Structure formats: structure tokens, C-alpha cells
Chain A
Amino acid sequence: DGGITQSPKYLFRKEGQNVTLSCEQNLNHDAMYWYRQDPGQGLRLIYYSQIVNDFQKGDIAEGYSVSREKKESFPLTVTSAQKNPTAFYLCASSHQGYGQPQHFGDGTRLSIL
């Protein structure tokens, strides 16, 4: 079955530590996205990528980094510069083009130790 796989499901970060969240899709989608969701809030865009080896900052990119070396993969690193990383992180993908709906993985819940 095609889908988007995020791992791990739960992640804990220590002070000063970088952590990487995995996102893999086998839907043959060109575009991939990372969102952050805080309790009672909507989703906010962190980074997005339309093609391999290219990505753009979203609304809240500070303290995060990404790479897009393969079409199927779009990992997100939460760096120590992100002072408030506790949130639910969601990866999504879509076909390129006008008005394409996005489909989400199951999410990673990140907390500070």
C-alpha cells in the first residue's frame, strides 16, 4: 500500500541536542512538506520541497533544517537553536501543480527531556 511513513512516533530531545525526524513516501509525489502543530493550534509550515535537491523555508524555519537527496525522503532536523521544540510534527506530500491535495503521515511527537 502506498503511503507516508514517519519515524519515530515519539522522540525525546535533551538540551543542546540535534534530532532528526524521518519521512519517507512511496506515492511517487514530487512535493513534500513539514508542518508543526501545537496544542489547539493549526498547522504551521516549516519547510517544503518541490523537487530533489531543492527546498524552501516556510513560515517558521528558524531552528530547523532539511535535505532532499531522494524523491522519496525528506528528513527534518530539529537543531539546538530551536528553543521550543515540543510539538507534533507532520510530514505531507502531494503531486506538483495547482491545487493538489496534500496527504499526511502519522506524525512524530517530540518532547524535551
Chain B
Amino acid sequence: QKEVEQNSGPLSVPEGAIASLNCTYSDRGSQSFFWYRQYSGKSPELIMFIYSNGDKEDGRFTAQLNKASQYVSLLIRDSQPSDSATYLCALDSGGGADGLTFGKGTHLIIQP
């Protein structure tokens, strides 16, 4: 059984600071990892995906992956009130055949 663990929060971060969201997973065979942003009442929106150990940057977002520690994180620099949402971590164990396994999400609040 694949498991994805996230702190449910809320995680409160001042505007302009760095928000750090963390995710651990149980399946060592996991190969690809995704971060989705979900606003209240809306559907998830893909933010980042990462396949290799290390960092991947896209604008204000950086995804970090450490397969040895079974840990993936998302950093949001210069946090804005519009970043306030629930962030879902998801993983695909390879082939994509059986969909993604999602964590329950971390609720992020950016305080103006």
C-alpha cells in the first residue's frame, strides 16, 4: 500500500517569506512526484513535477527530491496572499497505469 504523508497544517507564513511544504512517502519504487495546488472548492492544478534527486526550479517555486530519505518538498519564495491554498503531494510508482497516490494536503495561509 503506497502512502503519502503531509502535515495538514494550517501552515502560516508572512507575505514575502519562503513557504516550505514537506511530503514523505512509503513506496521506495516511486519514480515521479507531483505538487498540485487546490483552492477551496476548486480542482487541483499542477504546479511542479520532479523525477530526479535534487532541486528543480520554476519561477518562485522549487521542488526538492531526496529518494534515499523518501522525501519531497516544495519551496515557495516571495510568498503572496494568492498562494494561500491547499498543496497536494502526489506520486506515481512508474508507468502511470494505476493513477497517482495523493497525500491529504497541507493548508497554507500567507498572512499579508
Contact = CB atoms under 8 A, between A and B. Distances in A.
- Interface size class on chain B is 20 to 34
A99 B88 CA distance: 17
Interface string B82-100: 0000001010101111111
- Interface size class on chain A is 20 to 34
A42 B99 contact: no
Chain B interface main SS type: loop
Interface in B54-112: 88, 90, 92, 94-100, 102-105
A104 B44 contact: yes
Contacts of A72: none
Interface of A: 31, 33, 35, 40-45, 48, 50, 56, 58, 90, 92, 94, 96-107
Given A43-B90, A102-B46, 6 more contacts: A43-B88, A43-B100, A48-B97, A56-B97, A58-B99, A99-B31
20 contacts: A35-B99, A42-B103, A42-B104, A43-B44, A43-B100, A44-B102, A48-B97, A48-B98, A56-B97, A58-B98, A92-B99, A94-B96, A96-B96, A97-B96, A99-B94, A101-B49, A102-B99, A104-B44, A104-B45, A107-B43
